[in-house]
Amino acid sequence: MLFTADHDDIRRSLQKFIANEINPHVDDWERADIFPAHELFKKMGSLGFLGLNKPVEFGGSGLDYSYALMMAEELGAITCGGVPMAIGVQTDMATPALARFGSDEVRREFLAPSISGDFVACIGVSEPGAGSDVASIKTQARSDGDDYVINGGKMWITNGTQADWICLLANTGDGPVHRNKSLICVPMKSKGVNVARKLDKMGMRSSDTAQIFFDEVRVPKRNRIGDEGKGFTYQMIQFQEERLWGAAACLKSHEYIINETIEYTRNRKAFGQSILDNQVVHFKLAEMQTEVELLRALIYRAAEQLVAGEDVTKLATMAKLKAGRLGRELTDACLQYWGGMGFTNETPVSRAYRDSRLTSIGGGADEVMLMVLCKMMGTLPGSKGSS
């Protein structure tokens, strides 16, 4: 069994925190196109939410991954997508490789304050010309004595305007593209780091997303995570947790929209009956709830295998793919049943429609997930086993 009474205790604490400290403010944060990350993360860090599965010696709780997954699922109860995504970047995207492969010195400097909520973290992988194609990034970190000197740019960086440091993937050599990259912790206050702009997005409005440039940014080599040249491998491992997090965070948000749609269509009348009384509506909602439960089962299975130390690339990829596709289908169907009200910004279904669209893009587009799966199945042209 994946979850225990200990999970339930933390779950209840997190539910209470979301109800009291996050959801009452979401509408204001959405209108402001930003939320106060330092203030919120400090509250979460003080309660231990930012380091559930991180090492005890750096302020974490030292629990297994199932606790992080439980938290990801509960964050889906936040009534927008931007805030949970920003929290997920802090806990499951920018810090897993640091926690696993970083030296004690670099973990004290960057991981510990990220767990306590004193630092806001962001992850710098995507570039204007290299989103899902991680191997083709151009940002360079050239060697200069005991330092790296970084030049390049990153795009679509969640938490980018508020972050204290960035987990940066950069080329540190001229070798093969899968063995010439390193992950480096770069303080955002470093000379030459320029947050060029905050992006104006269709959805995820309360999450600040930045374009960042690096111009002769000098950082000590001791800020590197693990071995030089292993950054691509570390990032691929980190992607497993990111993709599982992204899928798990969809579960409760999908259920919330189903339930809100049931309530709205039950009370909305047309042609002498409630909208919900139409078979096409209540059948579709039943199908959507079934799909959510199937996704949950897939995510839980992947989590169990991850806790057991197994490679979950295949299952995590499937979960990420399914979560994105389901989010698009579910929110589109539900918005239709809200009629004209669904097309207004004041309804939860319109926000979910905009926010959920990112799941099929961020962390690897659907098409990349399909390529990964086809390669593992031996059906991708040029892969072993394909014709």
Among all residues, which ones are annotated catalytic?
242
Compute the distance between CA of residue 186 and CA of residue 141 in angstroms, rounded to an integer: 11
Compute the distance between CA of residue 3 and CA of residue 237 in angstroms, rounded to an integer: 24
Let me know: does 172 contact 228? Beta carbons within 8 Å: yes
Q: Which residues contact 330 (CB under 8 A, 6 or more apart)?
A: 254, 257, 258, 288, 291, 292, 356
Tokens for 266?
Answer: 């039950």
Compute the distance between CA of residue 343 and CA of residue 335 in angstroms, rounded to an integer: 7
Pairing of strands 181-187, 209-220: unpaired
Let me know: does 225 contact 276? Beta carbons within 8 Å: no
Beta bridge partners of 165: 121, 187
Q: Which residues contact 224 (CB under 8 A, 6 or more apart)?
A: 106, 148, 172, 182, 183, 184, 185
